[in-house]
Amino acid sequence: MSSEPEQLRSPSVWSVLFRHPAFLGAVIGILAAFSQALLISAGGPEAYGFCVACHTRDLVNGMTNIVTHTNLALAAISKNAILPVMSVVGVLIGGYLAARQYREHKIRKGTIREYAIYFVAGILVLNLAMIFGGCPYRAALRTGYGDLNAIAFIVAMAAGVILGAFLMLKRAEKEDG
């Protein structure tokens, strides 16, 4: 970690808070509610303040609709607005700026096989998330909004993670022994 010595020198409350996931969780939760309060007149659905999968879908399909005059499905808020929701573009730029600022930007290449796996996994994850109607983040927002299906999603997701992590553990143990 490049910023580790800095933290040892001056571990101010702000710098610790700033780097803590719980702080970001609070920021997303409050701002997602704020953005709904601000923008809901443009269209639904509710509890749609932040979602990586849905907002990617809206961005890609909205832009495709504008450029090629097709009629791909997207959320009402993106359909009614002059441009679709841009939060994923923001995440990409914000992540890039932070990585640049703290010298953590580094090209990491993989093999063609890995690229193919990640590409197919991207298609799968997006489609599965859209069948539910949201990625893990919108599931959290929906839970906060009082949707019981979203709680089922989170519990099922935790079960999937535990199975996957268990398989990874088994494989690592096999490689060690």
Partner 1 sequence: MATGILPTEAAVIAVPIVTLLLGLLIGYLAQRSGYCSIGGFRDYFLFRHTRLLSGYLTLIAASFTGYLLFWFFTPAAMEHFFWALSSGPAYPMPGAPGGLNAAAYLIFAIIPGFLVGFIAVLLGGCPIRQTVMASEGNYKAAWFFVGMCVGSILFAAIVSGWVVSLMRALGFGV
How many chain residues touch partner 1 (CB under 8 A)? 130
- The nearer residue to partner 1, 14 or 177, going by C-beta atoms, is 14
Q: Which is nearer to partner 1, 9 or 109 (CB)?
A: 109
Angstrom distance (rounded) from CA 116 to CA 73: 27
Using CA atoms, how far residue 87 sits from 58, 83, 143, 170, in Å, is: 10, 12, 21, 38
* Nearest CB to partner 1, comparing residues 9 and 41: 41
The answer to whether 56 and 75 are in contact (CB under 8 A) is: no
Q: Does residue number 11 form part of the binding site for partner 1 (CB under 8 A)? A: no
Interaction between residue 90 and partner 1 (CB under 8 A): yes
How big is the chain, counted in residues?
177
d(C-alpha 110, C-alpha 156), whole Å? 30
Q: Which is nearer to partner 1, 105 or 177 (CB)?
A: 105
Q: Mask 30-69, x = binds partner 1 (CB under 8 A)?
A: xxxxxxxxxxxxx-xxxxxxx-xxxxxx-xxx--x-----
Q: How far is the CB of 176 from partner 1 (least distance, A)?
A: 15
Verify binding: residue 98, partner 1, rule CB under 8 A.
Answer: yes
- Taking residues 145 to 164 in sequence order and writing x for each that binds partner 1 by CB under 8 A, - otherwise, the string is xxxxxx-xxxxxxxxxxxxx
Sequence-separated (6 or more) residues with CB below 8 Å from residue 80: 42, 43
Does 23 sit near partner 1 (CB under 8 A)? yes
CB of 63 to partner 1, least distance (A): 10
Distance CA 35, CA 171 (A): 44
Both tokens of 146, joined, read 């009082």
